[in-house]
Amino acid sequence: MARIDDLVYAGLKALPPKPPDSADREVKKRYSEQVSQAVAVALADELRKRGLTEARPSPPGVVDKSGAERRMAGGIGAKKVDVTWATEESGLLLAISVKTVNFRDGRTKNFQKNLVNRRGDMLIEAVTLHRRFPYAVLAGFLFLDAAAASDGTANRRSTFINAHARLKLFTGRGDPAGRDEQFEILYVFLLEASPDNANVRAYEVGNREQEVPLERIFDHLMVLVAERNPDFYEIYEGNLVPLNKRLAKKATSVVIPEEDTSDFDEEDEDD
């Protein structure tokens, strides 16, 4: 497994046992928050390893005293963002919105009920951030309980299939002048989390048949950030590297031959 897999699985295995679908609303809400926090910490750790040293959230003392998630000023108000990388010079460069659907609806016994709400939360986040930071790369990670892939009936597709259909319109923002509510990239995850077992399967929205390794997702994010900031960053061995540092390394590796002054010496003798 790649490093990011180890980080995500370790975070998920540290979670308490998942409450039953019949648990009180506040209990289920707290569990969902814990899932989001565990995933966000793992994602930010991977970003820092890849050169995005200011990425949050982080353990206290790694980025600053708290390391907590950022509250970003946006185009329609301030918004807490799950995972962010921002610099003093450029502002927000990369954000990852983490949303989860962990419990079945008590009446329908499927996961569909909260899908539209989670989509709405993500789109508001995208509008808020893109209006203030149009060049920022925004990724959306929607985590569904693994059972959401098999909760379909003869009259309704599974929540997993419906998630792709309902998010397809809002992914693929390739131009900084594009629609504010659109994400640069969106992924749907099927999640299993318990102290005994953790498993995550990732799929790019619009392609529900082909699983995407977590490491490849981060490779893609690094490329997107470098493409948006070509005067400042480039990709080197899967990491985002400041262009000036990379050029400096290249310069120090070049051996400059000693200047041949023989022609000048001959001219001097003639004079």
Residue 123: CB atoms within 10 A of its CB come to 20
Whether the pLDDT of residue 36 is over 90: the answer is yes
So what's the pLDDT on residue 173?
Answer: 98
Cα 187 to Cα 211: distance, rounded to the nearest angstrom: 10
Residue for token digits 């708290």?
A: 66
- Can you say how many angstroms the Cα of residue 202 is from the centroid of all Cα atoms in its chain? 12
So what's the pLDDT on residue 269?
Answer: 45
Task: Choose among 140, 36, 152, 141: nearest CA to 104.
Answer: 152
85 close to 52: Cβ distance less than 8 angstroms = yes
So what's the pLDDT on residue 228?
Answer: 97
What integer is the mean pLDDT of 180-209?
96
Percent of the chain having pLDDT more than 70? 83
What integer is the mean pLDDT of 139-162?
96
Whether the pLDDT of residue 157 is over 50: the answer is yes
What integer is the mean pLDDT of 100-120?
93
Cα 82 to Cα 173: distance, rounded to the nearest angstrom: 20
Cα 151 to Cα 115: distance, rounded to the nearest angstrom: 13
Would the CA dihedral through 13, 18, 24, 25 be positive or negative?
positive
Whether the pLDDT of residue 105 is over 60: the answer is yes
What pairs with residue 231 in β-bridges?
none
56 close to 84: Cβ distance less than 8 angstroms = yes
pLDDT interval class at 156 (50, 70, 90): very high
Average pLDDT over all residues of the chain: 88
Query: pLDDT tens for residues 209-223?
Result: 999 999 999 999 999
pLDDT interval class at 123 (50, 70, 90): very high
Between 262 and 202, the higher pLDDT residue = 202
So what's the pLDDT on residue 150?
Answer: 97
Between 68 and 95, the higher pLDDT residue = 95
Strand ranges (E), the chain: 70-74, 77-81, 83-87, 91-101, 137-145, 185-193, 198-204, 233-236, 239-242
pLDDT interval class at 261 (50, 70, 90): very low
Query: pLDDT tens for residues 75-89?
Result: 555 557 899 999 988
Between 147 and 254, the higher pLDDT residue = 147
101 close to 118: Cβ distance less than 8 angstroms = yes
What integer is the mean pLDDT of 159-186?
97
